[in-house]
Chain A
Amino acid sequence: MEAAILRVRGLAAGYGPVHALSSVSLEVPDGAVTAVLGGNGAGKSTLLRAVSGTLRFQGGAITGGTIEFAGERLDGRNAAQIVAAGVVQVPEGRQVFARMSVADNLRAGALGARHGRRGEQEARDRVLGLFPVLAERAHQRAGLLSGGEQQMLAMGRALMARPRLLLLDEPSLGLAPMMAARIADTVREINDQGTAVLLVEQNAALALGLASRAVVLENGTVALSGTADELAASDEVRRRYLGVGDEEAAADAEAGIRAEHDHSDGRPTLRRWVA
């Protein structure tokens, strides 16, 4: 395994009374894609927020453990310092600056990085090359873009900082298949250019296809970890996150319904309501 660029050890974090992460340890090798899998509420986003120093904006805080990036401690630093160190996150749900133009969103992405005007221009060219639609919409207000366009903008904006480690929180959410594939390509491309990626994905198939290593978070702790291939082969992962392997359900909507009905919790049939 290559040298780890990010080392998380015994990380615990929570939101006030809510404990979202407890003793999470993982390593992100330099120049590779690492995937984090897990169900809803497993703590994936919390992990990324902890790394990027933005937990406090959600009312959360790191309560224990350490985060090391390229040999330097990140925990305890503020978000701006972390960005300056080269760690940039694309937040869940895109969160583009809705009332700013697309162009200004991209400019905002370059705020934290100190690469000078030239650097900014280069970064912009690269981003617009990846996502030509952003050039077309440069003057449109970002909030009016479609969901997928916003996702592209969010990615592009993060790349403006030319990060060494990119944290991606569910980049494929709500994307058309082709667009998701394109994002996947982009991730691969970015990675090839030497940027390490920590990828959180609900879409395990996509994630495992991209990643060299992966961890599975469950209930705020690391349940499984290993190479992507190992995990992809694991029954547990296949059944729970890839949605395959359960012979009865077989990723089939109808079977899903039947399965639900067979369940003893006995979800009732909904009858039409008569007033």
Chain B
Amino acid sequence: MSDLLTRVRRGAGEKGPGGPASGRPGRTPRDLVTPGLWLLLGLVLMLLPFYLEAFWLRAGLFAMAAAIGAIGLNLLTGATGQLSLGHAFFLAIGAYGYCVFAGDPDAGVVGFGMPPLLAMVLAVLLAGAAGGIFSPIAGRLRGAYLGIATLALIFIGQHVLFNAHDLTGGYNGRSVPPLDILGFTFDNERVMVASVPFQAVEKLWYLGLILLVLGALFARGILRSRPGRAMNAIRDHRIAAGVMGVPVARYRGAVFIISSMYAGLAGVLLALIFQRTVPSYFGLILALEYLAMIVIGGLGTVGGAVLGAFFVTVIPQVLTRYSEALPLVSAPGTGGVAPGEVSRYLYGAAVVAAVLFLPGGLVRLPAVLRARRARRRAGTTDTGNMEVPS
């Protein structure tokens, strides 16, 4: 092997980023710290319902539901490179599907009165099926064309939601039957746990956590192994992916379906939190918010989707809540900039800033900071031509 290659090797070997599939060196202290941190985080999350007021729990739940949906979108847009502006449509299918399947048969709107857990599963499958119906179209279109074609889904969806009164309840939506798992109902009935009253939000909190963790692990599993590699290959070089044996069209279709199922699950969870589904919610703004989430958080990664979802959903709530206390923000009706406006400025700007200054999104922030610190410590010594750019 040429010595040029050897030189290069020196630079890279020292501090390869250790990608997912690369050889894993022996455990370093950092490797042990991380599981500890995760454990701690898990514990804190488990305890939150005992301390946080319902407002924050609800905000957290919205964020969890959004995170599930964003993970799905990130599989599609981030990892496979298929721009979708129609995610809200699949959220709506999940939400309304659940209501229809679980709904009370005698309540004026169509309801099959199924056990809620079954309805939940069916709603997710229904969303997947809807994605499946659209996937042949998705498979044919590229880039911006696909993005705008999915926009049609939003408009079709809204049209149906407003018009199919029997199914959807029309403009004012329909109420959401509470989830019930083996006789335990996630409703507002107060249950005392350690003398803390548990109502719907507290109960749903745990459901949300479980679904989010499972959804995240599942997506991570996909991304880090065979299907994930194929998806990335399709994004980066479609022709090469095909030549390497990846059935491109089938994969694109499959990812579309999976992404829709994530959206469906997020929709069900949202419906359970709202306790009512309203059509106006599932509009273009929502779809754009999901895109903002994955860009702010980081395209193509599970962590990015989760971080972005929390950023986009929690910021407006915080700003609204503390509108009186924040500088520059004024309470409604007093003139000046309203909190709703501030949060829109903020997350609009965050999208721009994330792309321009933090490519890779919020998930990359720790790595970028660490690299910067390391560089500062090391000065600007030449570390060879092959140093991995951060």
Would A and B touch once assembled, by the CB under 8 A criterion? yes
Please determine whether A17 and B389 come into contact, CB atoms closer than 8 angstroms. Answer: yes
Residues of B within 8 A of A193 (CB): none
Checking B1, B4, B7, B385 against A18 with a beta-carbon cut-off of 8 angstroms, the contacting residue is B385
Count of inter-chain pairs, beta carbons less than 8 A: 35
Residues of A within 8 A of B390 (CB): 16-17
Q: Does B382 contact A (CB under 8 A)?
A: yes
Q: Does B195 contact A (CB under 8 A)?
A: no
Residue in A17, A19, A265, A267 whose Cβ sees the most chain B Cβ within 10 Å: A17
Please determine whether A18 and B389 come into contact, CB atoms closer than 8 angstroms. Answer: yes
Q: Does B142 contact A (CB under 8 A)?
A: no
Q: Is the interface of A mostly helix, strand, loop or mixed?
A: loop
Checking A16, A19, A265 against B385 with a beta-carbon cut-off of 8 angstroms, the contacting residue is A19
Of A36-44, A146-154, A207-215, the one contacting chain B is A36-44
Assembled-state Cα–Cα distance A265/B371 (Å): 32
Residues of A within 8 A of B22 (CB): none
* Shortest distance from the beta carbon of B213 to any chain A beta carbon, whole Å: 35
A18/B8 contact (C-beta < 8 A), A39-B2, A260-B1, A265-B1 known: no
Please determine whether B389 and A42 come into contact, CB atoms closer than 8 angstroms. Answer: no
Q: Does A219 contact B (CB under 8 A)?
A: yes
Assembled-state Cα–Cα distance A119/B87 (Å): 55
Assembled-state Cα–Cα distance A220/B7 (Å): 12
Assembled-state Cα–Cα distance A19/B381 (Å): 9
Residues of A within 8 A of B386 (CB): 18, 41
CB 8 Å contact bits of A41-54 with B (1 = contact, 0 = none):
11100000000000
Please determine whether A219 and B7 come into contact, CB atoms closer than 8 angstroms. Answer: yes
Q: Which residues of chain B from 375 to 390 have a CB within 8 Å of any chain A CB? A: 375, 382-383, 385-387, 389-390
Assembled-state Cα–Cα distance A17/B389 (Å): 6
* Shortest distance from the beta carbon of B386 to any chain A beta carbon, whole Å: 8
Please determine whether B389 and A16 come into contact, CB atoms closer than 8 angstroms. Answer: yes
Residues of A within 8 A of B375 (CB): 17
Please determine whether A41 and B4 come into contact, CB atoms closer than 8 angstroms. Answer: yes
Residues of B within 8 A of A40 (CB): 4
Please determine whether A15 and B1 come into contact, CB atoms closer than 8 angstroms. Answer: no
Nearest residue (CB) in B for A63 is B380
Please determine whether B385 and A220 come into contact, CB atoms closer than 8 angstroms. Answer: yes
Residues of B within 8 A of A18 (CB): 385-387, 389
Please determine whether A219 and B387 come into contact, CB atoms closer than 8 angstroms. Answer: no
Residues of B within 8 A of A16 (CB): 389-390
Nearest residue (CB) in B for A59 is B389
Please determine whether A41 and B1 come into contact, CB atoms closer than 8 angstroms. Answer: no
Please determine whether B387 and A42 come into contact, CB atoms closer than 8 angstroms. Answer: no
Assembled-state Cα–Cα distance A265/B7 (Å): 15
Please determine whether B387 and A41 come into contact, CB atoms closer than 8 angstroms. Answer: no
* Shortest distance from the beta carbon of B336 to any chain A beta carbon, whole Å: 41
Assembled-state Cα–Cα distance A18/B8 (Å): 12
Assembled-state Cα–Cα distance A39/B6 (Å): 12
Residues of B within 8 A of A59 (CB): 389
Please determine whether B8 and A263 come into contact, CB atoms closer than 8 angstroms. Answer: no
Assembled-state Cα–Cα distance A150/B151 (Å): 38
Please determine whether B4 and A22 come into contact, CB atoms closer than 8 angstroms. Answer: no
Residues of A within 8 A of B389 (CB): 15-18, 59
Please determine whether B382 and A263 come into contact, CB atoms closer than 8 angstroms. Answer: no
Nearest residue (CB) in B for A267 is B1
* Shortest distance from the beta carbon of A238 to any chain B beta carbon, whole Å: 15
Assembled-state Cα–Cα distance A263/B1 (Å): 9
Q: Does A20 contact B (CB under 8 A)?
A: yes
Residues of A within 8 A of B387 (CB): 17-18
Residues of A within 8 A of B385 (CB): 18-20, 41, 43, 219-220
Assembled-state Cα–Cα distance A39/B2 (Å): 9
Residues of A within 8 A of B8 (CB): 41
Assembled-state Cα–Cα distance A18/B375 (Å): 12
* Shortest distance from the beta carbon of A207 to any chain B beta carbon, whole Å: 17
Residues of A within 8 A of B1 (CB): 260, 263, 265, 267
Nearest residue (CB) in B for A16 is B389
Nearest residue (CB) in B for A39 is B4
Assembled-state Cα–Cα distance A20/B11 (Å): 13
Assembled-state Cα–Cα distance A182/B149 (Å): 49
Residues of A within 8 A of B371 (CB): 17
Please determine whether B382 and A22 come into contact, CB atoms closer than 8 angstroms. Answer: yes
**22 A-B Cβ contacts within 8 A?**
A15-B389, A16-B389, A17-B375, A18-B385, A18-B386, A18-B387, A19-B382, A19-B383, A19-B385, A20-B385, A22-B382, A39-B4, A40-B4, A41-B4, A41-B8, A41-B386, A42-B4, A59-B389, A219-B385, A220-B385, A263-B1, A267-B1
Q: Known pairs A18-B385, A39-B4, A41-B385; list 14 more (Cβ under 8 Å).
A: A15-B389, A17-B371, A17-B375, A17-B383, A17-B387, A17-B390, A19-B383, A20-B385, A22-B382, A41-B4, A41-B8, A43-B385, A260-B1, A263-B1
A residues adjacent to B (C-beta < 8 A): 15-20, 22, 39-43, 59, 219-220, 260, 263, 265, 267
Top 8 A-B pairs, shortest CB-CB distance? A39-B4, A19-B382, A16-B389, A41-B385, A17-B389, A17-B387, A18-B387, A18-B389
B residues adjacent to A (C-beta < 8 A): 1-2, 4, 7-8, 371, 375, 382-383, 385-387, 389-390
